A and B are shown apart, each in its own frame.
Chain A
Amino acid sequence: MNLQVILDNLPYLLWGAFPEGQLGGAALTLVLSVASAIAAGILGLLLGIALSLSRGVTNAILVLTLGFFRAIPVLMLIFWTYFLLPVAFGIDVPGLVSVACALSLIGGAYLAHAVHAGIAGIPHGQWQAGLALGLSRMEVLRHVVLPQALRIMLPSFVNQWVALIKDSSLAYIVGVPELSFVAAQVNSRLMVYPAEIFLFVGAIYFILCSGLDLIAGFVSRQLQRRSQEAPDRGRCRQ
């Protein structure tokens, strides 16, 4: 083991050529992941709500579209946006944007189903109670159903975001200098230290993903403390 090689290349692995050049390395992975996670979260929430409220043809179209995005590999979607769009429409899509789009769309499609399941998991009686008080469907959703459903969904969101952080390494394929890309660069420059370099890269991904897990655990405990709801919602018997 030669730790010196990691120390020598540490700044490049962590933030690429920044500030002289483009941001890269672990910092770019983080930026890419956070941006895609936020976009996927918003997209998932909106599509999940639409999935829950829509009926008939709209619902069928939505299910098909989401099914499509869940069925294609992230890599294919990256290739399509990166190579196909310029050919087909003459739009030049930067690698970073194509990866962010692919991750957001596919993450959003997965999360939409999690949101839909979370909403469906709230007992029908809660809707009725909200409606009976004179709240509109959207108000019941906003004030009664979603606050409860989001708590159920949180683990699914964390799972999806962890997968998304790791999938951001696919940006390597279109030359985005994120962590995996710069690691491969350093490795081919030095040739003889692959074990050190890739163990270090693995450790960084581990820290990023576990960090997210810790934050989510903390948030979930805070939410639980705010409402110490009994698991059976305090009913005596059904």
Chain B
Amino acid sequence: MISIRQVSKWYGSFQVLGECTTDIRKGEVIVVCGPSGSGKSTLIKCVNGLEPFQEGEIVVDGIPVGDPKTHLPTLRSRIGMVFQLFELFPHLRIIDNLTLAQIKVLGRSRDEANAKGLQLLDRVGLKAHANKYPGELSGGQQQRVAIARALSMDPIAMLFDEPTSALDPEMINEVLDVMVELAQEGMTMMCVTHEMGFARKVAHRVIFMDQGRIVEDAPKDEFFGKPRSQRAQQFLSKILHH
């Protein structure tokens, strides 16, 4: 469903991505990990065209992302994205955060969008907060709203950019629970995260990146069992043993 071919990206002369290649099939859950600055976030932002790239090709559901003729808003509306800092719209009520794009992009009626929004808020356990503003919710609750907002567009795939990195420890699980549920329902997911428990539980494959390159791309058990590269071994030992 998502095909990434030889993607390279530079900021000036600094190369942030180097010939990244991987494929994500429908219903597959991929965890992307690696040290900070390794290009993980940049790579997933290339998938929905939030970050341009200079070389290579990304095709999502048959649509080439890098093609200037591709209408990016349409493509993006079909891929859900969840950000590290939630990025809810602070001036809109929770329910309006969920209906804005449904109405403006998908052309749904307000009633239809509202019903869909409430159904999804119910699903993440936050229906009672529909009329509050984002600032009144905890970080974990805000991130669950952000997931519901992405789901309100009926996406064919979901991108997660370190969804739990900005959360207090006790709020991480409530967000991961929603993500696990989503994975078990068969959603195609690409998650940049350091939550190895989540990776062990639901990921099909783990991609390890370092210095803008995909160093390791292996099935979960293989990755956790015996990573081939030394760099991945070091990384794993650092984040698993402390």
Q: Which A residues contact B (CB, under 8 angstroms)?
A: 123, 125-126, 128-136, 139, 143-144, 147-148, 151, 227-230, 233-238
Name the one of A134, A139, A144, A229 contacting B134, with C-beta atoms under 8 angstroms.
A229
Q: Is the CB of A125 within 8 A of B77?
A: no
Cβ–Cβ < 8 Å partners of A238 in chain B: 85, 166
Task: Judge whether B81 is part of the interface by a CB distance below 8 angstroms.
Answer: yes
The verdict on A132 contacting B81 (CB below 8 Å), with A125-B87, A236-B168 known, is yes
Cβ–Cβ < 8 Å partners of A229 in chain B: 90-91, 133-135
Interface of chain B residues 55 through 112 with chain A (CB within 8 A): 72-81, 83, 85-92, 100-101, 104-106
Q: Is the CB of A237 within 8 A of B166?
A: yes
A139 to B106, CA, bound (A): 13
**In the complex, what residue of chain A is closest to B79 when comparing beta carbons?**
A132
A134 to B149, CA, bound (A): 12
Count B-side interface residues using an 8 Å CB cutoff. 42
Q: Is the CB of A235 within 8 A of B87?
A: no
| Most interface-central of A125, A134, A228, A238 (chain B CB within 10 A) | A134
The verdict on A132 contacting B91 (CB below 8 Å), with A125-B83, A235-B166, A236-B166 known, is no
The verdict on A134 contacting B73 (CB below 8 Å), with A128-B50, A129-B87 known, is yes
Cβ–Cβ < 8 Å partners of B76 in chain A: 131-134
Task: Judge whether B212 is part of the interface by a CB distance below 8 angstroms.
Answer: no
Task: Judge whether B136 is part of the interface by a CB distance below 8 angstroms.
Answer: yes
The verdict on A133 contacting B153 (CB below 8 Å), with A126-B87, A234-B142 known, is yes
| Most interface-central of B76, B83, B89, B150 (chain A CB within 10 A) | B89
